[in-house]
A and B are shown apart, each in its own frame.
Chain A
Amino acid sequence: MKMGKNWLTSLVLTVGVGLLVSACGSGGNQAASGGGTSEKVYVVGTDAAYPPFQMLEADGKITGHDIDVMNAVAEAAGFKIEWKNTGWDPLFDGLDRGTVDIGISSITITEKRKEKYDFSEPYFVANQLILVAEDSPVNTLADLKGKKIGVQGATTGGEVVKKAFGDTYEGLKEYDDMPSAVDDFFNGRVDAVVGDNGVIQYYVKKIENKKFKLIKDDSFEVENYGIMVKKGNSEIMGKINEGLKKIKENGKLEEIRKQYFGDE
């Protein structure tokens, strides 16, 4: 393992990120309160552990595809936003409570979520992929029956597995974040990972010396990512859709997609 040599680097990075995050945090607050205007700054929550859609850089900045999209939307529609790395579950909770105004975090628009939240027009089309070992005989989701499957909990990846094998399927391992599930796949603790194409393809590029393959099961439904707000919050939703429409028309959205995913 690479750990031996790199632990010092990791340590330095960890300390560095910690310091910078706290520094940025206070900086952001000042900007929000010291502006002098009464203009509303919307808090955008995200779970910055889902590269390349949203991730935390070593300098504490949140970057990624969704971040660029949201910034472009806000700019096009003319409203101010402030980023908050909430994590996945607290993001939904924050919207319920009003501590977060907008959520963008590769959130698939589903019927179930629509019952509790309002979604913008789609800004990204995704489908699920299965990550398995290179020499695995698995060809479809159904072949995974009886095997251990890692997913990020409360994501559509988990839902397709539950739909296929039942809500209490013993082999399902729900992780808090995608990288943990992928790590445990490479450590051999799960036989497969099911997740969104954007994220899984990102690992194909990142981890070149590892052996694995990606499977697309045609039974998976195409998914759309949307920007989420609390149900009934139509004032803000109108602005988001307006901005989204603008960046779709002027090609900015496509430009951002290409920047992260090329011409796939």
Chain B
Amino acid sequence: MFFRGFLNTIMLTAIATVAGTLLGLFICLGKMSSKKWLRWPSAVYVELFRGTPMLVQILLIHFAVIPSIWEAFFPGQKSPEAIYSGMIALSLNAAAYIAEIFRAGIQSIDPGQMEAARSLGMTKGMAMRLILIPQAFTRMLPALGNEFISLLKDSSLTAVIATPELNYAAMSVAKSTFERYPPYLTEAAIYLVLTLFLSRVVVRGLEKKYSTR
């Protein structure tokens, strides 16, 4: 049970990381766009997901939003299982934070870089992709690492909708045995190992690899 929970926790975090990064990039570009119709919804999105608790987002998405969408588009069909609601909620939430991390990274690059790239004849998109984002990426890594670690920990919140992840496994054991220390300490130890691995090995490794000095 703990092992299945462990795998699901990893999967939830991995999917939310990838989906959140992609979506976050688009939202960040939207927020920095010169077009109002792109800038406005992106800003609203960020405020919405950053300004409400993750737990509320999970409950809302699982019990209200997804069943309503299913009812409207696939009447009579079964709503997807909890783990998908969890993935969606985590990804959407991560995207809001990651978008802001990207924006901070990109805006920290000297505007001269963009001007120089443009004067070499690059389009705005090319300059972004080839000059600004690679430089910004190095600066964003510590903040991104931070976000992935909190994403890993926040995935434990999906236990409330009976997503069979690590925290759910621990809660289930605690509930049926009335023992509190063993399951929750085991759970805490596993999360600690995971976050240490993420921060020491993955993030630090990436930081070294992309270090400019």
Overall SS of chain B's interface: helix
**Distance (whole angstroms) from the CB of A139 to the closest CB of chain B:** 21
**CB proximity of A58 to chain B, nearest CB, Å:** 19
Q: Of A148, A150, A154, which one neighbours B175 at CB under 8 angstroms?
A: A154
Task: State which of B4, B64, B78, B180 has its C-beta within 8 Å of the C-beta of A188.
Answer: B78
Interface size class of A (residues with CB under 8 A): 20 to 34
B81-A174 in contact (CB<8A):
no
Asked whether B142 is an interface residue with its Cβ less than 8 Å from the other chain, the reply is: no
User: How close is B56's CB to chain A, nearest CB, in angstroms?
Assistant: 11
Q: Residue B40 at the A interface, CB < 8 A?
A: no
- CB within 8 Å for A170 and B4 given contacts A116-B178, A184-B162: yes
Report if A162 contacts B (CB, 8 A): yes
Contact between chains at A1 and B67 (CB < 8 Å): yes
Chain A residue with the shortest CB-CB distance to B71 = A1
Q: Does A165 have its Cβ within 8 Å of any Cβ on chain B?
A: no
> If A89-B175, A183-B63, A189-B79 touch, does A150 touch B4 (CB 8 Å cutoff)?
no
**Given A175-B162, A189-B79, does the pair A158, B176 have CB atoms closer than 8 Å?**
yes
Query: In whole angstroms, how far apart are the Cα atoms of A174 and B162 in the complex?
Result: 6
Closest chain A residue to B79, Cβ basis: A187
- A150 near B63 with CB under 8 A, answer no
**In the complex, are the beta carbons of A153 and B172 less than 8 A apart?**
yes
Q: State the CA gap A158–B175 with chains docked (Å).
A: 10
A174 near B78 (CB under 8 angstroms)? no
A173 to B72 CA separation, bound complex (whole angstroms): 26
CA distance A184 to B4 in the complex (A): 22
Within 8 A of B (CB), among A17-62: none
- Shortest CB-to-CB span from B165 to chain A, Å, is 12
Q: Judging by beta carbons under 8 Å apart, are A153 and B175 in contact? A: yes
Q: Which residues in A have their C-beta under 8 angstroms from that of B72?
A: 1
Complex contact B63–A154 (CB within 8 A): no
Find out whether the CB atom of A188 lies under 8 angstroms from the CB atom of B79: yes
Q: CA A168 – CA B1 in complex, angstroms?
A: 6
In the complex formed, the residue of B with least CB distance to A191 is B78
CA distance A175 to B68 in the complex (A): 21
CA distance A159 to B77 in the complex (A): 30
Q: How far is the CB of B66 from chain A (nearest CB, A)?
A: 8
Interface string of B177-207 (1 = CB under 8 A from A): 0101000000000000000000000000000
Contact residues in A for B63 (Cβ distance below 8 Å): 180, 183-184, 187
In chain B, positions 66-122 with a C-beta closer than 8 Å to chain A are 66-68, 70-72, 77-82
Residues A1 and B79 in contact, CB atoms below 8 Å apart:
no
Docked pose: A157 CA to B178 CA in angstroms: 16
Interface residues, chain B, CB within 8 Å of chain A?
1, 4, 63-64, 66-68, 70-72, 77-82, 160-162, 164, 168, 171-172, 174-176, 178, 180
By a beta-carbon cutoff of 8 Å, the part of chain A in contact with chain B is: 1, 3-4, 89, 92-93, 116, 148, 150, 153-154, 158-159, 162, 167-168, 170, 173-176, 180, 183-184, 187-189
**Apart from the given pairs A116-B178, A187-B78, 4 other A-B contacts in the complex at a CB distance below 8 Å:** A1-B68, A92-B178, A180-B162, A184-B82
Q: List the 5 closest pairs (A to B, CB-CB), nearest first.
A: A188-B78, A154-B175, A187-B79, A173-B162, A187-B67
15 pairs, A vs B, C-beta closer than 8 Å: A148-B81, A153-B172, A153-B175, A158-B175, A158-B176, A162-B176, A167-B1, A168-B4, A170-B164, A173-B82, A173-B164, A174-B168, A174-B171, A187-B70, A188-B79
